[in-house]
Copies of this chain bind each other. A is one copy, B any other.
Amino acid sequence: MSRASERAYNNIRSMILSGELQPGSQIREEALAELCGVSRTPVRDSLRRLEAEMFIRRNDSQRSFVADWSLDDLEDAFQLRAMLEAHAAKRAASRITREQLGRLRHHNAQLKQAIDIPNPDVPKFLDHNRQFHAIIVAAAASERLASMLGQVTEQPVVLRTARQYDLENLRRSHHDHDELLIAFDKRDGEWAAAVMTGHIRRAFHAYAQAHSTDTEIRKSNLAA
């Protein structure tokens, strides 16, 4: 997609992910158009895309709202993600190349570095983590699977606490990655899938805990 359209999409998407656009709030095409400095046409394109990705919902009369996810929705997304990503790991185990394995090791070493220091570099960890998972999805060699995973991987839920970055969880994540690497090395798809399932489910519980804590904080702020 060319410039205006691309810009609108990225802008709106990041506004949703950052919480700048509040969950549940209505979205007006023209307002977004002004915010992005483009006309309504590319904004409409973006809204359709974001709707397909479930970042945005529309009511029965075509008005758009920022998706407001319940804890159930979150669990649902994570459940699907666990299933799909385990499947990806299984496929990857029999297809992954030496070169991809090497890159996997590289990113895993980097993310270990990011947390094995006095002042953990969480953004660095998250970046290498993302790339680690991306390589596995690529190795699975299924465009459809990749496209579906894209739909459940980024969660439009804003968390104000830092709990999801809990160090212990990050270390366990890294350990899972280590185990995945061995499973891939042995070409054991079942093992890889099992590790991945646990990996994602842990992520869910960390997320859910942060979510509930966050909700509590929000409520008490409201009460005050």
Interface residues of A (CB under 8 A from B): 1-2, 44-45, 48-49, 52, 54, 62, 73, 76-77, 80, 83-84, 87, 142-145, 147-148, 151-152
In-complex Cβ contact of A142 among B80, B143, B145, B147 (8 A): B80
Alpha-carbon gap, A48 to B52, bound state (A): 10
Q: A49-B48, A52-B49, A83-B83 are in contact. Are A148 and B145 (CB under 8 A)?
A: no
Q: Nearest B residue to A152 by beta-carbon distance?
A: B144
> Which B residues touch A76, using CB under 8 A?
142-145
How far, in Å, is A102 (CB) from chain B's closest CB?
26
Q: Nearest B residue to A83 by beta-carbon distance?
A: B87
> Which B residues touch A83, using CB under 8 A?
83-84, 87
Number of this chain's copies in the assembly equals: 2
> Which B residues touch A52, using CB under 8 A?
49, 52
- Asked whether B45 lies within 8 Å of A77 as measured between CB atoms, the reply is no
Alpha-carbon gap, A142 to B144, bound state (A): 19
> Which B residues touch A49, using CB under 8 A?
48, 52
Alpha-carbon gap, A40 to B8, bound state (A): 21
How far, in Å, is A25 (CB) from chain B's closest CB?
20
Q: A48-B45, A87-B83 are in contact. Are A1 and B144 (CB under 8 A)?
A: no
How far, in Å, is A122 (CB) from chain B's closest CB?
28
- Asked whether B152 lies within 8 Å of A80 as measured between CB atoms, the reply is no
Please name 12 pairs of A and B residues whose Cβ atoms are closer than 8 Å in the assembled complex, sorted by A.
A2-B62, A44-B45, A48-B48, A48-B49, A54-B143, A54-B147, A76-B142, A77-B144, A80-B142, A80-B148, A144-B152, A147-B151
Q: Taking A45-B48, A54-B143, A73-B144 as given, write out 7 further A-B residue pairs in contact, using a Cβ cutoff of 8 Å, ordered by the A residue number.
A: A48-B48, A48-B49, A76-B143, A76-B145, A83-B83, A83-B87, A144-B151
Alpha-carbon gap, A1 to B52, bound state (A): 14
> Which B residues touch A77, using CB under 8 A?
144
Q: Which 8 A-B pairs have the closest CB atoms?
A: A52-B52, A76-B142, A148-B148, A48-B48, A80-B144, A76-B144, A77-B144, A83-B87
